[in-house]
Amino acid sequence: NYTGDVLNFGRAVERFKSERANARKPPPHIAMVVVDDDVGVVNPNDDAEGGVGRRGLAGTVLVYKIAGAMAVMGGTLDKVKELAEYTVKHTFTIGCALNAASVPGIGMPRSLEDNEMEIGMGIHNEPGFETKTIEPARVLVPSLVRHIVDSLPFKKVSGGKTGRVVLLVNNLGATSNIEMGLVTKLATEATRDAGFDPVRIFSGTYMTGLAMPGISITLTLVPDGEIEGARFLTLVDQPAFCSGWTNHTHVEDAGCTDEAAQGPATHVMPARDAQWESVISTAYHSVVSAEPEVTHLDQVMGDGDCGQVLLSGATAIFEASSSAQLPLNDPPAALARISSLVEDAMGGTSGIIYCLFLDGLAQQLHHVDSSALTPRVWGKTMLGALETLYQYTTARPGHRTLIDALEPFARTLESTGSLTEALEAAIKGADDTKHMLPKRGRAVYVQQKENLADAGAVGLISVLKGIVSALQ
Active site residues: 124
The distance of Cα 60 from the centroid of its chain, to the nearest Å, equals 27
How many other β-carbons are positioned within 10 Å of the β-carbon of residue 124? 16
321 in Cβ contact with 280 (< 8 Å)? yes
122 in Cβ contact with 57 (< 8 Å)? yes
Which secondary structure element, helix H or strand E, spans residue 462, and what is its range? Answer: helix 455-471
Sign of CA dihedral 129, 135, 139, 141: positive
- Rounded Cα–Cα distance for residues 353 and 120 (Å): 47
The helix-helix angle for 419-432 and 375-390 (nearest 10°) equals 30
Q: Where are the beta strands (DSSP E) in 160-256?
A: 164-171, 197-204, 214-221
Backbone Cα Rg of the chain: 31
Q: Are β-strands 197-204 and 164-171 bridged in parallel, bridged antiparallel, or unpaired? A: parallel
Helix-strand-coil split of the chain, %, nearest 5: 55, 10, 35
Q: What are phi and psi of 97, to 5 degrees?
A: -150, 155
Cα dihedral 140, 143, 145, 151, rounded to 10, equals -140
Which secondary structure element, helix H or strand E, spans residue 240, and what is its range? Answer: none
247 in Cβ contact with 303 (< 8 Å)? no
